[in-house]
Structure 1
Amino acid sequence: MEVLVLGAGYGTRLQRDIEQDESGKYSGLIGCPKPLLPIGGRPLVSYWLDQLKECQHQVTGTSIVTNSAHADRYRAWAASTADASTVDIIDDGTTTNEGRLGAIADIELVIQKRGLTGDLLVIGGDTLFHDDFRLSRFLDEYLDLQTRWGDELGAFAEVYTCPEEDVSRRGIVEVDADNVVTSFLEKPRPTETQSRLACPCFYIFSSKALPLISAFLLELKDRPLAERDAPGNFLPYLSARLKVIVSRVSGRFDVGNLPTYRACDDYFTSRNSTT
């Protein structure tokens, strides 16, 4: 299994918050891509590398896709730590948020550049889970699902129960008794669904799903970027053709703005101080 960390976004909301913050406490984060943000004293992506080390027997390679504006930062980080020395930094060639490819196109780029044909774990570079999550357990669950579903399996994803007030800001999934996704609802009103299962950017795409990424992008090539950007746009397309199955975790951090950055940093600072 290959691993891809998505890091080609420009973090415009977070950067705007930092620039407008009058305390100046976070001014050192201006221009820092979200996977490299200091969380509990370490780059966010380093927490994923810790988990990947526990799964070396299942992981064949790790890549981070970035943009030309941030590529040098990633290369410097990779050169500075032995843990990242084998991480492949892939530059998608964009230089502005307006000119970004979008996450799905970045996934397709990495698939093509690396010639990938097997299973692919995609990790949102602004995402971390609470302490009860173990990547090794997630990968073992995926192997069990492969045995059960075979070629019908398209993707395996984590979900968590989000607060009522967050439903209209999240991608919500409805599932059946086997945890197979039956529908995706993008930022629904709480009255539109009884489900409170939010689906962050963290998925294993099976080998059968990879060709569908290019098919999806081809179908939507003339549509606005917003309709083909995020992986959440692809999942409904995929679930109409293959099984998308979910597992549950207690919660996650989505570092999208300054308040969510502070919450994530506080959580891991506290955790690191007690370990």
Structure 2
Amino acid sequence: MKAIILAAGYATKLYLLTKNRPKPLLKVGNQTILDSIVEKIVAVKELDEIFIVTNDKFHTHFEEWAKEATYGIKLTVINDGTLSNEDRLGALGDIHFVIEQAKVEDDLMIAAGDNLFGFSLVDLVSFYKAHEGNAISIYKKDDLKQLIRGDTANIDENCKIIGFEEKPTNVNYPYAVPTFYIIQKEGLTLFNDYRKEGYNMDANGTFIPCLLDHSTVYGYVFDEYRYDIGTLESYEQVQKRFANIKD
């Protein structure tokens, strides 16, 4: 299994902090957001390489981070070649770029590079293996204002995804869907097919219905914390949440 951490955004809503520093390398508590994610990924024994896809502006930042890292797993930083928010490839575009550039032919874990979360990726992989199908992480969210801003889903008694909507106008499903997926290797060609059809390559959630059309997808339900750091306000909130963590 391989993993991709999506870190090619320009974080324009956080420009006071991210104009000259990528968001995943901002510190929360005693470590960067990226280190928090990688610590959870390296616990997965099935994984043998982590790809960190970034842009040309911040490529050297991640290369320097990788040189200093001591995680005992292969870390490969991939530059998608973009220079600004206007010419970005988008999340799906970056996933496709890594698959093509690195010739990925293994099962693939995909992780957002700007989320802090409390659930175990070891448990997510165990769930994935037990269900023998694609897996996405989901959690119950009662705040309707939050639900309409992201992806939503519903599951049956076997945790099979039976409904999915991206940023719904009216909320029909109770689960929020952060970007922590495991895609079977047989499904990786769908990213190329999706791109050729001219679909939106910017939002992860637009791809899940395509995946559902071609294969079975299961929802791994977690109840631990998850923070999506997209604004100064959300960054300040997580700083307060982790303020008691010391070096």
Q: 1:85, CA displacement in angstroms?
A: 7.7
User: Size of the alignment, in residue pairs?
Assistant: 245
Quick one: which amino acid aligns to residue 94 of structure 1? T
The answer for the alignment partner of 1:34 in structure 2 is 23
> Which residue in 2 is equivalent to 1:232?
205
Give the alignment of 1:76-225 within 5 angstroms: 76-83=64-71, 86-130=74-118, 133-146=119-132, 153=133, 155-162=134-141, 163-190=143-170, 192-193=171-172, 195-220=173-198
Q: Is the 8 A contact 2:7 2:54 kept in 1?
A: yes
Is 1:242 the counterpart of 2:230? The answer is: no
Query: Partner amino acid for 2:105?
Result: T
Deviation at 1:72, TM superposition (A): 0.8
Q: Which runs of 5+ in 2 are unaligned?
A: none
1:105 CA displacement: 1.3
The reply on whether 1:52 has 2:32 as its aligned counterpart is: no
Contact persistence 1:78–1:85 (CA under 8 A)? no
Q: Provide Cα deviations, 1:232-269, integer angstroms capped at 9, x if missing partner.
A: 11111111111111111223110100111112222233
* Secondary structure in 2 matching 1:98: helix
1:10-45 deviations in Å (ceiling 9; x for gaps):
111121xx3xxxxxxxx5x54221211111121111
What is the percentage of aligned positions where both structures have the same residue? 29
State the distance in 2 between where 1:239 and 1:268 align.
37
Runs in 1 of length 4+ with deviation above 3 angstroms?
none
The structure with the largest helix share of the pair is 1
Whole-angstrom distance in 2 between the partners of 1:136 and 1:110:
23
One-letter amino acid of the structure 1 residue matched with residue 206 of structure 2? N
Amino acid of the residue matched to residue 256 of structure 1?
A: G
Q: CA RMSD in A?
A: 1.8
Residue equivalent to 1:23:
none
1:196: Cα distance to partner? 2.0
Aligned partners of 1:167 and 1:189 also within 8 Å? no
- Taking structure 2 as the reference length, what is the TM-score of the superposition? 0.93
Within the alignment, does 1:14 sit opposite 2:11 as a pair? no
CA 1:228–1:30 in structure 2 vs 1: closer, same or farther (change >3 Å)?
closer
Once the two structures are TM-superposed, the CA of residue 102 in structure 1 deviates from its matched residue by 1.0
Tell me the SS of whatever aligns to 2:243: helix
Q: Distance in 2 between matches of 1:142 and 1:182?
A: 17
- Report the residue type matching 2:150 in the other structure: R
Matching residue's letter, 1:183: G
Q: Is the 8 A contact 2:50 2:73 kept in 1?
A: no
Which range moves more in the overlay, 87-96 or 176-185? 176-185
Q: Could you tell me how far apart the structure 1 residues matched to 2:97 and 2:165 are?
A: 27
> Which structure is larger by alpha-carbon Rg, 1 or 2?
1
Give me the whole-angstrom Cα distance separating, in 1, the residues matched to 2:11 and 2:189.
29
1:63 corresponds to 2:54: no
TM-score normalised by the chain length of structure 1? 0.84
